[in-house]
Amino acid sequence: MSIAISDEVLTVTRMTEAEMRQEIAIMLFQREKLTLAQASRFALMNRIAFQHLLASRQIPVHYGVEDFQQDIKNLREMGRL
């Protein structure tokens, strides 16, 4: 599914496309609709950068089982486990 955000909305909000993606990702993460991994991917950021963004806004990181399992999978794929 694709969502188109008009240039008008970006202009009115004075946001870039990247900033809009980050705001949506943060909101969905806070509402626990996306995991940390999913939200960082949606925001087109690596997980550490997304965590720094959350920390800069004093948003706590909830790290659940799904995030842990994804980290293990990623480490295995990288040959680090």
What residue numbers bound the domain in which 30 lies? 7-77
Number of domains in the chain: 1
In a domain, 35, yes or no: yes
d(CA 81, CA 73): 9
* Residue type at position 44: L
What is the end-to-end Cα distance of the chain in Å, rounded?
34
The dihedral formed by the CA atoms of 61, 56, 53 and 4, expressed in degrees to the nearest 10: 110
User: Of 23, 27, 28, which is closest to residue 13 (Cα–Cα)?
Assistant: 23
Residue 69: predicted pLDDT: 86
d(CA 32, CA 62): 9
Residue 14: predicted pLDDT: 97
In a domain, 1, yes or no: no
pLDDT tens-digit readout, 35-65: 888 999 999 999 899 999 999 999 988 777 8
In a domain, 2, yes or no: no
Note whether 43 and 51 are within 8 A (CB).
Answer: no
Residue 71: predicted pLDDT: 79
pTM across the whole model: 0.73
